[in-house]
Amino acid sequence: MKTLHTIAELREAVAAAGGAPAFVPTMGNLHEGHLALVRQARQQADAAGGGPVVASIFVNRLQFAPHEDFDSYPRTLQRDAELLQATGCDLLFAPNEAELYPEPQTFRLHPDPALADVLEGAFRPGFFGGVCTVVLKLFNAVQPRLAVFGKKDYQQLMVVRRMVSQLALPVQVLGGETARADDGLALSSRNGYLSAAERAEAPALARALRELAAQVQAGARDFKAQEARALAALRERGWAPDYVALRRQHDLAEPLGAPGEALVVLTAARLGRTRLIDNLELPPLR
């Protein structure tokens, strides 16, 4: 595996490897969830008859609010590179800020507010604009045939897919299933912020999603009341939830409850100083 730090080096290496890469963008501090996405990209590349697998590591300042953890976000490049090499990655693109943003990034994308200003976007204003801007810039640098994003960041996946569709980008966007610990906690680079006691409590977030999903599958259709009960139950356990929301899978709009409608339940909540997100897709309603 080659590690590259400039766009020029990256493009030369991609061309030498046969072009048409499969791409996995990350912010580093990798865990098994990231590595599963790289394996998915490797499988797709091999099935298509070749082409390199490219992963990127870049902590994107544009998607962090001033009070968030940009400066303290874990940066573990050497360890990450070793993990990627063992997982079948061919090229690692690890630019610094000056390489990716050589001048102030005054041109930015503003994604559809109906999709990007709800849920995460409501609690992290400007977040998805920062995501779309860096993803588009990375797509232009890597020029991938396909890109793999984790479903744990469900709304991000939806926003990127909408951006690719509306801008006619020649990139197939695939979703990778959420990787979980044995106790059900969704793997996240921020799980390392949890204390031992918080780590023991953290699986309650996934349990709350499963319980709400089970109610819906059993026929409950008072979605707002179900969301409110889930929020209250998390607060009783010491969480500070931002939202628990049932939404349609394809556009994250409020559900109608019609037969055949495929829903997803999404949540974000703080446990101590750590903000965790998770989601669970439901089968179509009957």
34 assigned to active site: yes
Contact 108, 101 (CB under 8 A): no
Angle at 281 between CA 280 and CA 286, to 5 degrees: 130
Name the DSSP class of 173. E
Residues listed for the chain: 286
Report the alpha-carbon distance of residue 134 to residue 138 in Å, rounded.
Answer: 6
Type and span of the H or E element at 175? strand 172-176
The residue from 34, 67, 110, 250 that is catalytic is: 34
Helices 204-217 and 223-236: angle between axes, nearest 10 degrees:
160
Residue with token string 């089968």: 283
Type and span of the H or E element at 251? none
Residues known to be catalytic: 34
